[in-house]
Amino acid sequence: MLVKEWAEREHLHPQTVWKWCRTGKMPVPVERTPSGMWLVHDPKYETPVPSDTRQSRTVCYARVSSAGQKADLQRQADRLKAFALSMGVEAPEIVTETGSGMDDKRRKLKRLLADPTVGMIIVEHRDRLARMNAGLVESALKAQGRRIIVVDDTESDDDLVRDMTDALTSFCARLYGRRAVKNKVQAALRAAEDA
């Protein structure tokens, strides 16, 4: 789990915990990722993985849209790994990819979806998997006894809002190019709410 989360659970200040990590004074095991982030492995808070997923592989899938977001890609991968470790996954695999969420030209994701040994795919947000129709992918995997876990599923639960956002994202991607899609969708949704 992340240092901040562990500090909160233990009622400690995050700066104190970071200092303990750097000086080797942590009372529980810690790990430093390549990007410099500290992960705390406290057995007290790590939940065991269900037995049916122990035989299959767990993969953390991180995606960004452009090469200019490489730093965010590494941070996203680190957060996913921390989440998987907090679930009790011993050695989660990390797959990172740069590509649009609007098309099907993502080779690494295709390999993951086609590989029957991958029992669980962990993504940070649903749109990291696919901008549209992520529910269909989830249903297809569920029928095979596999599953997708969305770490931050704070998106709107209203199907109409989600469908409208997906449609606006698709139209804006075609009209304005993929770089400005997110801003255009947010502006359109604000305009729709104000009307």
pLDDT tens readout for residues 39-60: 888 888 776 555 554 468 899 9
Contact assessment for residue 82 and residue 30, using Cβ atoms and an 8 Å cutoff? no
* Number of folded domains that form the chain: 3
Catalytic residue status for 170: no
Q: Check residue 53 and give its pLDDT.
A: 44
> What whole-number distance in Å separates Cα of residue 35 and Cα of residue 43?
24
Same domain, 22 and 97: no
Same domain, 96 and 190: no
> What whole-number distance in Å separates Cα of residue 171 and Cα of residue 181?
9
Which residues form the domain of 141? 46-155
Same domain, 83 and 69: yes
Same domain, 40 and 90: no
Per-residue pLDDT tens digits for 86-116: 888 888 899 999 887 776 778 888 888 888 8
Same domain, 131 and 174: no
57-64 vs 118-123, strand pairing mode: parallel
Q: Starting from the edge strand earliest in sequence, which strands make up the sheet with 147-150, in order?
A: 93-98, 57-64, 118-123, 147-150
Same domain, 102 and 165: no
Same domain, 81 and 176: no
Same domain, 142 and 57: yes
Residue 52 tokens, joined = 């049916």
Same domain, 140 and 169: no
> What whole-number distance in Å separates Cα of residue 136 and Cα of residue 132?
9
Task: Give 59 or 141, the one with higher predicted confidence.
Answer: 59
The alpha-helical segments, DSSP class H, found in the chain are: 3-9, 14-23, 70-86, 107-114, 126-129, 134-143, 159-176, 181-194
Q: Which of 13, 80, 85 is nearest to 43 (CA)?
A: 85
Same domain, 84 and 140: yes
> What whole-number distance in Å separates Cα of residue 138 and Cα of residue 68?
29
Same domain, 110 and 141: yes
* Catalytic entry in 35, 51, 56, 65: 65
Task: Give 171 or 30, the one with higher predicted confidence.
Answer: 30
Same domain, 31 and 50: no
159 pLDDT tier (thresholds 50, 70, 90): low
Least confident interval from 48-57, 108-117, 149-158, 160-169: 48-57
User: Which residues, at least 6 apart from 190, have a Cβ–Cβ distance to it below 8 Å?
Assistant: none
Tell me what the mean pLDDT of segment 11-30 comes to: 89
Mean pLDDT for the chain overall: 81
Percent with pLDDT over 70 in the chain: 82
- pTM of the complete model: 0.58
Tell me what the mean pLDDT of segment 30-39 comes to: 82
